[in-house]
């Protein structure tokens, strides 16, 4: 009994020392103390595992190249935010569903959920998912938890130095606007839909700002017209310019919206990551990036490996680092690492007005 009590007291003492270091800013604390992540299956790392959802990846061969195996990442290995955490000197961020201790939460949380969208009803065909509005609510709860642990002033400073990575929008197109069982396309032309999305997006990002966020990396939607599921829809296996043309007004609107938020919100630093440009550069000259297979998923069935996405225990391709796409919808870890490094070190044609490394020091 006494031994158990002594162990509990030692654990409490360690926790108090940790919190004291956080409050004081001592202990060689990093310029960016935490990474908070919002998004969809491109950066989900397990939040859908326990949902009643058709959008899950907690089975082999997902995670085949990840040290912990299948975790819920829709990839063979690292996601973009995994690599960013490494570059920032942070531990890999736990999913919100598994962030059980204050020590974990103080270094960041991933709220991303496969099939989630800016609009609450996007991704409904997959049933369970955590839309962006709900992810924001979880962050607000996290901010309150941190304030309760280290005090409001220290929590405000910590959140202001943290980076919030937001990658939303893909499901508002793939699993809303382009879905025949949604009436969105009949109600809005592409520009009207982009306008609708970005009005909502601006309000959501402002809500994150009001919850304490100050440093934001906002990723645009990538080149959806060349993913295997789209390639498989025509016998020639060609990229769909029509699908890419749908996304471009959204990305343009997001850039303009972020400029406005930088001007209007005191102390805010929003930077835009041009995923579309990076993907197009890779697809335009794959050999320069080390790739040789750009027109099919490494794990999938049918034309272009894109008619049915990666099923449980399906053997994937052996040379995964040579593939741009892992499954019918998602890039390989090799692509994710390239995008993350472009975000961290890249020039203004990819990440603007500052890259993540510069953002960290502001």
Taking the C-alpha atoms of residue 276 and residue 143, their distance in angstroms, rounded to an integer, is 32
| Res 27: pLDDT | 44
Average pLDDT over the chain, rounded to an integer: 93
Is residue 37 a contact partner of residue 343, using CB atoms and an 8 Å limit? no
DSSP string, 255-284: HHHHHHHHHHSTT-EEEEE-HHHHHHHHHH
d(CA 212, CA 11): 30
Contact between 243 and 230 (Cβ < 8 Å): yes
41 is catalytic: yes
Is residue 321 part of the annotated active site? The answer reads no
The bridge status of strand 108-110 relative to strand 35-39 is parallel
- The catalytically annotated residue of 40, 44, 244, 330 is 330
- Catalytic annotation, pick one of 44, 82, 172, 327: 327
Q: What is the pLDDT of residue 28?
A: 53
Q: What are phi and psi of 109, to 5 degrees?
A: -145, 145
> What was the pLDDT predicted at 235?
86
Reply yes or no on whether 122 is catalytic: no
Residue 18 CB contacts under 8 Å (≥ 6 apart), including other chains: 103, 106
For 104, counting Cβ atoms within 10 Å of its Cβ (0-12 exposed, 13-18 middle, 19+ buried), the class is: middle
**pLDDT of 87:** 98
Q: Would you give per-residue pLDDT tens digits along the chain (362 residues)?
A: 444 444 454 444 434 434 444 444 444 568 999 999 999 999 999 999 999 999 999 999 999 999 999 999 999 999 999 999 999 999 999 999 999 899 999 999 999 999 999 999 999 999 999 999 999 999 999 999 999 999 999 999 999 999 999 999 999 999 999 999 999 999 999 999 999 999 999 999 999 999 999 999 999 999 999 999 999 998 888 899 999 999 999 999 999 999 999 999 999 999 999 999 999 999 999 999 999 999 999 999 999 999 999 999 999 999 999 999 999 999 999 999 999 999 999 999 999 999 999 999 99
Question: For the whole model, what pTM was predicted?
Answer: 0.93
Q: Which one is catalytic: 40, 41, 113, 295?
A: 41
Mapping DSSP onto H, E and C, the string for 224-259 reads: HHHCHHHHCCCCCCCCCHHHHHHHHHHHHHHHHHHH
pLDDT given for residue 236 in this prediction? 85
């Amino acid at each position: 009994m006494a031994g158990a009590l002594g162990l509990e007291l030692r654990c409490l003492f360690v926790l108090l020392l940790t919190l004291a270091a956080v409050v004081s800013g001592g202990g060689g604390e990093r310029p960016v103390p935490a990474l908070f992540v919002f998004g969809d299956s491109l950066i989900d790392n397990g939040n859908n595992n326990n949902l009643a959802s058709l959008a899950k990846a907690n089975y082999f061969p997902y995670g085949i190249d990840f040290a912990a195996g299948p975790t819920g990442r829709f990839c063979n290995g690292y996601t973009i935010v995994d690599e960013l955490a490494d570059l920032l000197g942070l531990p890999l961020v736990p999913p919100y569903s598994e962030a059980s201790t204050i020590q974990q939460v103080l270094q960041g949380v991933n709220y991303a959920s496969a099939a989630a969208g800016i609009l609450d009803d996007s991704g409904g065909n997959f049933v369970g998912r955590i839309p962006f509005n709900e992810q924001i609510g979880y962050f607000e709860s996290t901010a309150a938890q941190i304030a309760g642990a280290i005090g409001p002033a220290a929590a405000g400073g910590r959140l202001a130095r943290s980076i919030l990575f937001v990658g939303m929008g893909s499901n508002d197109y793939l699993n809303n606007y382009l879905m025949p069982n949604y009436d969105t396309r009949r109600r809005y032309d592409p520009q009207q839909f982009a306008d609708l999305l970005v009005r909502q997006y601006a309000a959501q990002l402002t809500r994150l700002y009001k919850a304490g966020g100050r440093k934001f990396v906002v990723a645009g939607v990538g080149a959806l017209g060349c993913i295997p599921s789209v390639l498989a829809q025509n016998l020639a296996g060609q990229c769909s310019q029509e699908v890419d043309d749908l996304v471009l007004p959204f990305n343009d609107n997001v850039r303009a919206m972020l400029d406005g938020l930088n001007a209007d919100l005191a102390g805010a630093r929003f930077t835009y990551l041009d995923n579309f440009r990076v993907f197009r550069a890779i697809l335009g000259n794959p050999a320069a990036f080390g790739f040789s297979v750009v027109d099919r998923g490494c794990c999938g069935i049918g034309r272009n490996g894109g008619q049915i996405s990666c099923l449980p225990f399906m053997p994937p391709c052996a040379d995964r680092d040579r593939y741009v796409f892992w499954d019918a919808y998602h890039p390989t870890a090799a692509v994710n690492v390239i995008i993350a490094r472009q975000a961290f070190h890249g020039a203004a044609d990819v990440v603007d007005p500052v890259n993540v490394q510069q953002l960290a020091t502001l």
